[in-house]
């Protein structure tokens, strides 16, 4: 045989297996290429994984129906990256590979842009019935704007059918010359002079774009990190090279984009969830073609088939939105580092509050650390103060001194920001009079409050007890879950300050396209107002007239059972604080707490993030938690908690092996969601390879096991929430 006659194909299915087909004589296949294959009665789009495979004996293979293009949609590097990610995150290869295709190509559409048709009129006057108002209006629109596109007409309210109708009547015709603007490699704007601190930082950036290096840029909020990225790309990226700038979901603000466009013109392309299928395909093709694109994109952009990628930047690298929370649970940041390694190019991770993972890597010398600890343009960092709320009456979570501070701020014509912590709001019960928190008598951890059965449970062992109504230490009745009552914070503020707008910023209020822009516009007008919101407020915005920040319930984050919660709380507090005092007025931050002697909170007020990160890392090390050991969670959900726990109980003995610590199985912190009962089994080990093999084995077992009814399971490697 001169060439392989069989191919192994991946399908976009949640199946941990591939499918073998015969290659008909007239077809040539290479890995990464799109094909059409018969599957049952359907024809599906597949991706070639390998050719020349030995199919299992005794099976008659069906032939591949067709190829969709002659070239591989996923070039070698991208293909290898996804194969690695599939194995690392234990997610079916087919679904991983298909993540790198735009929706149109997943559905088997051709890999070329559907040109937007342009129209012109053929006759001077249209012989149309007088009552065909829309037809006449359409004809006149095209007549006054020859060359107008179908999409522009659609935006003016004309349908495709109406356009076709005029075309069939031979009143209009398509303009055939197609001009898409070429990507211009150079832009116009002169860059601002870097400050001295920035120049020093810039000097430490990697010079060599042809080999792997990882750099952690630790630069306080407003220190000019973005300016440095721009400077770096301008200096080091060659005119024919591609770069990727990853940003968290919400950071893709028009301002950021405009800044990049000013430097690089239409070399800048974007990738985020609000693009339509056509836009995605168009950008995907440019990337696949190797056009010298600088792509600014969210998480999934890291999986795209770049052909000539020479620099990766991950902005706000600590941000939790880099981790996909369902399905293929990859971390965009971690995949970016692996990709740079595979590609032999630099990766730069930037943040004012680096993740402990990256901080640890910098400490170990795996990443080069660059520090930038002055704000650019002369702005000062805000002052942080603790506000002890023990024994103080709260109104919807807010203390009197906090309300007074808001009042003063508004009276000065300035803006206040009220931050309510929701995330990491793993329910701990605390005494608001003495600060007492209930701990597990067997472990050194706090107990979690489970609202449904009013039980207190340990997250590590199986200890549980009924929740008390009064504080076991001081008998106060002010003994309740942290965060309770904050749902009403917004209402209370609106009642107390009826004369100013109270603007809510959270996932719900920013979901609609353009809503965040509307909010920003209102805030940037500078008029006095109160912003109330969640983590969303922490993300990269500039609010020059915000001079006061109140953190309502910091304790919920500090004392959560989730070991990552303190890190996230500190990061969020610093990021939120970083929104204040960006203009020429200094800012103040008040943190409400029942634990004003807590070392972390004190470090936050008097030290810097670097010290806190070291402190948090020391705690992780003594607990032998990530990043000092690797972690994975097996999650189960079912109609009853018993079924979920039972499944994990079966897995536990299989997972038990030397060097692997196991927590659980236990009900998840949010034990019931949409009537599904959720439980988890946590595996921790210092041998990542062993963990990977163990998970592969468990997945294989689960795949071959018939589970009762609606029981589902999933694996989460390097989980962000425990």
Task: Extract the annotated binding site.
Answer: 431, 434, 440, 443, 458, 461, 471, 474
Site string for Zn ion, 454-493 (x = CB under 5 A): ----x-xx-x-------x-xx-x-----------------
DSSP class of 31: T
Nearer to ligand ADP, 195 or 269 (CB): 195
Pairing outcome for strands 213-219 and 242-246: unpaired
Token couple for 624: 């032998």
Which helix (H) or strand (E) segment holds residue 672: the answer is strand 660-673
Given ligand ADP, Zn ion, none, residue 443, with its beta carbon under 5 to 8 Å by kind, binds: Zn ion
Nearer to Zn ion, 228 or 431 (CB): 431
Distance CA 600, CA 375 (A): 23
Q: How far is the CB of 168 from ligand ADP (least distance, A)?
A: 54
Give the phi and the psi of residue 40 in degrees, each rounded to 5. 60, -125
Distance CA 362, CA 216 (A): 7
Distance CA 575, CA 539 (A): 7
Give the phi and the psi of residue 175 in degrees, each rounded to 5. -80, 125
Given Zn ion, ligand ADP, none, residue 500, with its beta carbon under 5 to 8 Å by kind, binds: none
Nearer to Zn ion, 6 or 722 (CB): 722
Among positions 412-431, residues that touch Zn ion (CB under 5 A) are 431
563 binds Zn ion (CB under 5 A): no
Whether 411 and 403 have beta carbons less than 8 Å apart is answered as no
Side-chain half-sphere exposure of 195, counting CA atoms within 13 A:
15
Given Zn ion, ligand ADP, none, residue 463, with its beta carbon under 5 to 8 Å by kind, binds: Zn ion
Token couple for 420: 């309510």
Which helix (H) or strand (E) segment holds residue 583: the answer is none
Residue stretches of the annotated binding site for Zn(2+): 431, 434, 440, 443, 458, 461, 471, 474
Nearer to ligand ADP, 449 or 609 (CB): 609
569 vs 418, 422, 480, 608, CA distance in Å? 15, 10, 20, 15
Token couple for 637: 């959900």
Q: How far is the CB of 227 from ligand ADP (least distance, A)?
A: 4
State the distance between the two ends of the chain, measured CA to CA, in whole angstroms: 54
Given ligand ADP, Zn ion, none, residue 519, with its beta carbon under 5 to 8 Å by kind, binds: none
Q: How far is the CB of 622 from Zn ion (least distance, A)?
A: 17
Nearer to Zn ion, 120 or 478 (CB): 478
Given ligand ADP, Zn ion, none, residue 377, with its beta carbon under 5 to 8 Å by kind, binds: ligand ADP
Q: How far is the CB of 482 from Zn ion (least distance, A)?
A: 13
Q: How far is the CB of 650 from Zn ion (least distance, A)?
A: 23
Site size toward Zn ion (CB under 5 A) is 15
Q: How far is the CB of 189 from Zn ion (least distance, A)?
A: 59
Given ligand ADP, Zn ion, none, residue 474, with its beta carbon under 5 to 8 Å by kind, binds: Zn ion
Among 17, 114, 238, 442, binds Zn ion (CB under 5 A): 442
Total number of residues shown for the chain: 722
Residue in 199, 196, 227, 232 with CA at minimum distance from that of residue 215: 232
* Residues at the contact surface with ligand ADP, assessed by CB under 6 A: 192-195, 198, 219, 221-227, 376-377
Q: How far is the CB of 469 from Zn ion (least distance, A)?
A: 12
Assign 371 to helix, strand or coil.
Answer: strand
Whether 55 and 5 have beta carbons less than 8 Å apart is answered as no
Which residues sit at the interface with Zn ion, rule CB under 5 A?
431, 433-434, 436, 440, 442-443, 458, 460-461, 463, 471, 473-474, 476
């Amino acid at each position: 045989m001169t060439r392989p006659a069989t191919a192994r194909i991946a399908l976009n299915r949640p199946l941990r297996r591939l499918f073998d087909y015969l290659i008909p004589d007239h077809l040539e296949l290479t890995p990464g290429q799109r094909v059409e294959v018969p599957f049952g009665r359907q024809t599906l789009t597949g991706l070639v994984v390998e050719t020349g495979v030995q199919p299992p004996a005794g099976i008659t293979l069906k032939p591949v129906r067709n190829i969709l293009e002659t070239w591989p949609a996923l070039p070698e590097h991208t293909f290898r990256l996804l194969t690695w990610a599939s194995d690392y995150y234990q997610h079916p290869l087919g679904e991983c590979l298909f993540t790198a295709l735009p929706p149109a190509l997943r559905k088997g559409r051709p890999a070329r842009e559907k040109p937007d048709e342009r129209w012109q009129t053929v006759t001077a006057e249209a012989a149309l019935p007088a009552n065909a108002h829309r037809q006449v209006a359409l004809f006149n629109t095209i007549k006054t704007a020859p060359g107008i596109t179908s999409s522009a007409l659609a935006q003016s309210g004309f349908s495709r059918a109406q356009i076709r109708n005029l075309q069939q009547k031979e009143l209009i015709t398509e303009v055939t010359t197609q001009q898409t603007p070429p990507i211009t490699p150079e832009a116009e704007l002169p860059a601002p002079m870097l400050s001295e601190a920035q120049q020093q930082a810039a000097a430490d950036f990697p010079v060599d774009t042809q080999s792997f290096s990882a750099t952690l840029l630790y630069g306080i909020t407003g220190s000019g990190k973005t300016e440095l990225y721009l400077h770096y790309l301008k200096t080091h990226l060659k005119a024919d090279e591609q770069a990727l700038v990853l940003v968290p979901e919400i950071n893709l603000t028009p301002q950021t984009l405009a800044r990049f466009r000013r430097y690089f013109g239409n070399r800048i392309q974007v990738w985020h969830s609000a693009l339509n299928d056509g836009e995605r395909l168009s950008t995907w093709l440019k990337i696949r073609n190797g056009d010298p694109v600088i792509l600014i994109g969210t998480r999934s952009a890291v999986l795209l088939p770049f052909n000539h990628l020479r620099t990766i930047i991950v902005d706000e690298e600590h941000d939790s939105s880099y981790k996909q929370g369902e399905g293929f649970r990859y971390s965009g940041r971690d995949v970016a580092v692996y990709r740079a390694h595979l590609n032999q190019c630099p990766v730069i991770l930037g943040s004012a509050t680096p993740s402990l993972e990256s901080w640890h890597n910098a400490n170990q010398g795996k990443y080069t650390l660059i520090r930038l600890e002055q704000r650019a343009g002369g702005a000062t960092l805000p002052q942080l103060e603790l506000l002890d709320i023990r024994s103080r009456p709260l109104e919807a979570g807010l203390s009197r001194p906090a309300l007074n501070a808001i009042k003063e701020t508004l009276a000065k014509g300035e803006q206040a920001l009220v931050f309510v912590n929701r995330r990491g709001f793993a329910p701990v019960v605390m005494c608001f009079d003495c600060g007492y928190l209930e701990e597990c008598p067997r472990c050194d951890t706090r107990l979690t409050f489970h609202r449904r059965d009013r039980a207190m449970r340990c997250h590590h062992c199986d200890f549980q007890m009924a929740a008390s109504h009064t504080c076991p230490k001081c008998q106060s009745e002010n003994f309740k879950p942290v965060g309770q009552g904050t749902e009403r914070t917004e209402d209370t503020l609106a009642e107390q300050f009826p004369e100013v707008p109270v603007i809510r910023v959270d996932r719900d209020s920013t979901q609609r396209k353009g809503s965040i822009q509307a909010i920003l516009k209102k805030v940037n007008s500078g008029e006095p107002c109160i912003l109330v919101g969640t983590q969303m407020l922490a993300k990269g915005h500039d609010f020059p007239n915000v001079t006061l920040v109140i953190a309502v319930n910091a304790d919920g984050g500090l004392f959560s059972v989730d070991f990552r919660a303190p890190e996230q709380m500190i990061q969020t507090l610093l990021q939120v604080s970083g929104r204040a005092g960006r203009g020429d007025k200094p800012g103040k931050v008040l943190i409400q707490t029942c634990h004003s002697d807590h070392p972390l909170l004190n470090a936050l007020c008097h030290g810097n993030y670097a010290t806190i990160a070291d402190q948090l890392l020391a705690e992780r090390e003594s607990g032998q938690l990530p990043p000092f050991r690797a972690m994975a969670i097996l999650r189960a959900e079912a109609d009853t908690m018993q079924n979920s726990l039972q499944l994990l109980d079966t897995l536990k003995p299989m997972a038990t092996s030397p060097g692997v610590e196991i927590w659980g199985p236990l009900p998840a912190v949010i034990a019931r969601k949409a009537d599904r009962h959720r439980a988890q089994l946590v595996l921790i080990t210092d041998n990542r390879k062993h963990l990977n093999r163990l998970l592969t084995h468990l997945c294989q077992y689960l795949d071959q096991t018939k589970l009762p009814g609606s029981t589902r399971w999933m694996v989460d490697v390097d989980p962000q929430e425990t």
